[in-house]
Amino acid sequence: MSNQKDISERFKLVYKELTLNGDIKSKRDLATNVGYSPQGVAEIFSGRAKFNLKFLERFCNTYDVSLDFLVFGFEKQRKYPLFIKSSNNQKKEENVYNEDSERNLIPLFELASIPGYENDMYKYVPNKPIYYMDIPDFSGCKAFRAHSSSMEKLIKKDDILFATKEENWKNNIEYGQVYMIFAGYGRYFLKYIRKAKNDKKCFLLQSENPKFDDFDLPKEQITSIWLIHGWQNKMVEVNKL
The whole-angstrom separation of Cα 41 and Cα 48 is: 10
Provide the 8-state DSSP code for 211: T
**Domain regions of the chain by residue span:** 4-72, 106-240
Q: Where are the alpha helices (DSSP H) in 93-204?
A: none
CATH C-level class of 4-72: mainly alpha
CA dihedral 169→173→176→178, nearest 10 degrees, is -40
Task: Tell me the angle at which helices 27-34 and 53-63 cross, rounded to the nearest 10 degrees.
Answer: 100
DSSP-assigned beta bridge partners for residue 142: 163
Separation between Cα atoms, residue 169 and residue 173, nearest integer Å: 5
Architecture of domain 106-240: Ribbon (2.10)
pLDDT, one tens digit per residue, over 1-19 is: 456 777 888 888 888 878 8
Mean pLDDT, all residues of the chain: 76
Residue 32 CA neighbour count, 13 Å, CB half: 7
Query: Over the stretch 50-104, which tens digit does the pLDDT of each residue have?
Result: 887 788 888 888 887 777 777 766 544 333 333 333 333 333 333 344 443 435 7
pLDDT tops 60 at residue 110: yes
Distance CA 139, CA 145 (A): 17
